[in-house]
Structure formats: structure tokens, C-alpha cells
Chains A and B, each alone.
Chain A
């Protein structure tokens, strides 16, 4: 229940060593300690994680949907940025 006493937090989980934290969802909590505990209780019940971050949602600066033309469309014509034009030897494994 969103109230001024329990602001919104974003939850990030790292599932394995070597991987990066990924956004898992959000929750309401009164402070950072309870936010971390709630993140554990809500998002790691099935062995999803080895490390948790919680970040106040208000600390996130988001792009404006109206800017999406300027922000993202120019990349559509630059397919040469995708590394798909050369063969990766099998020995390299998963990159």
C-alpha cells in the first residue's frame, strides 16, 4: 500500500558470480534495511539470487518517452554496430 511513509524502491538481483545485477521489480518499504529484507522475501524465494541491491525509485532518472525519436531511432540504420559480420571460433565459447 503506497503511503508517504513507505516510498517505492527498485530491486536488483545478481544471480551468479560474474553476472551483473538485473532489475527484478519494485516494492514499498519504510527505509533501506526493511527494503532489503522485503526484497529478499519477495524476489529471492526460489533461489534467484546471491546479491541484492535496493535503490530508491526517486533516485532513478528516466528518459522521456517523447524523446524516443531523438534518443533511439538514429541507431536503427547503423547495423554495422552489431558484431555479426565475423565468425567466432568455437574455442572462444560463450561471449
Chain B
């Protein structure tokens, strides 16, 4: 069996919307999977793998739906493995390297603090498939939010070193949080018709959870500042290509491989 080595980006706005959310979940899930065999404890190894599998599962549902909507026979694997780097439209936050454990947990927390109210709101989407994916994802992300929050409290309010590492992670990752709320031109119609959620309506809740956890973790909430943008338009950091070297290696070496 042969498969296309390059799959073009879909043209339907709905398919593109689903694809962007799928890309967030796939790339963050892949990053978490990079901790396999390297986590600080066996217990956390399993926690990270579980979260990775939740996210990769969400991406599969969204990729499949994007293929269905586009109607040109693309399968989940085509979108996951066979696109060019610039056709991935995940936010830059999720492609940040794992760094140390504090950085990984803060990245997870920033993402989950947005994704939790996002999926809750998407359960009321006028698109039945997206609403169903939301109902499943909401429960998974609720746990990611709780798990990462508990770690932030312990790292921030822990030892001098854990506090320092979390404070450094905050400086590093804060400028990547603005893109959580980005809206592309082809998404406004979807928002108006109730298919998609206006991310700006979630900003208050996101800031509320972030402020509460950071303050309990004895860290000051940064305010505003310059924010990185570009992932949603396919302009990525130098880190994503290296991630693809691993993620896309097997399907490109052995196109159409099954196991």
C-alpha cells in the first residue's frame, strides 16, 4: 500500500478549525511522551504518559473529523504525519521543549487552564461531533489541570531550588500564553454560528485560575507584556522540525506501514 508523502491543508474552514485543535493536542501529547523513561519518578512517568495518551486520543478524533468534513479521503494519520511543517497550526506554547520538570508542568498548566473552560464551552457547540469530542476531552483535561496545579503548588512553595526553577519557567513560557486566545480570520464565521467558541470569552476564567494557582505557589502573576504569535499561521519555532524528525520518521520511511 502506498500513501501520499505530502498531504495538503484542507480548504474547508471547519476542517481547518478542527485541524488546529488537533495539532495543539498532538504536539503537546508528543512532547509529554518524550518524558517516557526519563521522568523523575515511576509514578510521574505514568502520569505524564497518561496525559500524553489523552491528548493524542483527542487529536485522533479531531483529525478524523477534519478528514470527514473535508471529504477528500484524508485519514487521521495523513494529517498527523504527512503535512509540511508550515501546514501545522498549533500554538507555539505546545512545541516548547520540555526543559526541566517545572517547565513541563507549567506548560501543561497554561494549556489545561485554557483547554478546560474551552472544552466545557464547546460541549454546547452547534456542531454535534465537536460537542461530543468536547464532552470526552473535558474530563481528561480537568485531570491535567488538577495534576499540573498540584505540582505548581509544590514546586513554587517547595524548596529554594524548585521555586527558582518554576520562576524561571514562568519567565520563559509566559510570552507564549497570548496565542491561546488567537482567532484567525476564517474562524469568525464559525464563532458567529456557534460552532466554535470565542476564546476571548474564556480569558477571565483562564486568568483567574492562573492567578490563583501562581499566588498559592508564591509566585507573582505576570501582567501582559509582549507575546509570541505565529504558530496558528504556521510560522513555528526552530524546535518543531526536530520534533517532526521523530514524529514523522517511521511513516515517511515506510509509507502506509501498519502494525
Bound form: Cα–Cα A40–B147 in Å: 11
B120 at the interface (CB under 8 A from A): no
For A10-27 the 0/1 string (1 means CB < 8 A from B) is 000000000000000001
A42 at the interface (CB under 8 A from B): yes
B86 at the interface (CB under 8 A from A): no
Q: With A41-B50, A45-B50 given, is the CB distance from A28 to B43 under 8 Å? A: yes
- Among B40, B47, B146, contact of A38 (Cβ-Cβ < 8 Å): B47
Nearest CB of A to B139, in Å: 12
Nearest CB of A to B231, in Å: 29
Chain B interface size band reads 10 to 19
Bound form: Cα–Cα A64–B212 in Å: 49
Q: Is the CB of B50 within 8 A of A37?
A: no
A60 at the interface (CB under 8 A from B): no
Q: Is the CB of B150 within 8 A of A28?
A: no
Q: With A1-B41, A6-B41, A28-B41 given, is the CB distance from A37 to B154 under 8 Å? A: no
Nearest CB of A to B152, in Å: 12
Q: Is the CB of B43 within 8 A of A38?
A: yes
Q: Is the CB of B146 within 8 A of A34?
A: no
Bound form: Cα–Cα A57–B154 in Å: 22
Bound form: Cα–Cα A41–B47 in Å: 5
Nearest CB of A to B61, in Å: 19
B189 at the interface (CB under 8 A from A): no
A29 at the interface (CB under 8 A from B): yes
Q: Is the CB of B41 within 8 A of A37?
A: no
Q: Is the CB of B50 within 8 A of A27?
A: no
A58 at the interface (CB under 8 A from B): no
Residues of B within 8 A of A27 (CB): 43
Q: Is the CB of B46 within 8 A of A37?
A: no
A50 at the interface (CB under 8 A from B): no
Residues of B within 8 A of A33 (CB): 150
Residues of B within 8 A of A29 (CB): 43
Residues of B within 8 A of A28 (CB): 41-43
A30 at the interface (CB under 8 A from B): yes
Residues of A within 8 A of B46 (CB): 38, 41-42, 45
Identity of the chain B residue whose Cβ is nearest the Cβ of A43 in the assembled complex: B46
Bound form: Cα–Cα A38–B146 in Å: 12
Bound form: Cα–Cα A27–B50 in Å: 17
Nearest CB of A to B149, in Å: 10
Residues of B within 8 A of A41 (CB): 43, 46-47, 50
Bound form: Cα–Cα A67–B41 in Å: 36
8 A Cβ contacts from B29-65 to A: 40-44, 46-47, 50
Nearest CB of B to A37, in Å: 6
Per CB-CB distance, the 7 closest pairs between chain A and chain B, nearest first, are A38-B43, A41-B47, A41-B46, A42-B46, A41-B50, A27-B43, A37-B147
Instruction: Pick 11 A–B contacts, CB within 8 A, sort by A.
Output: A1-B42, A6-B41, A28-B41, A28-B42, A30-B154, A37-B47, A37-B150, A38-B43, A38-B47, A41-B46, A42-B46
Residue numbers of B with Cβ under 8 A of A are 40-44, 46-47, 50, 143, 146-147, 150, 154
Residue numbers of A with Cβ under 8 A of B are 1, 6, 27-30, 33-34, 37-38, 40-42, 45
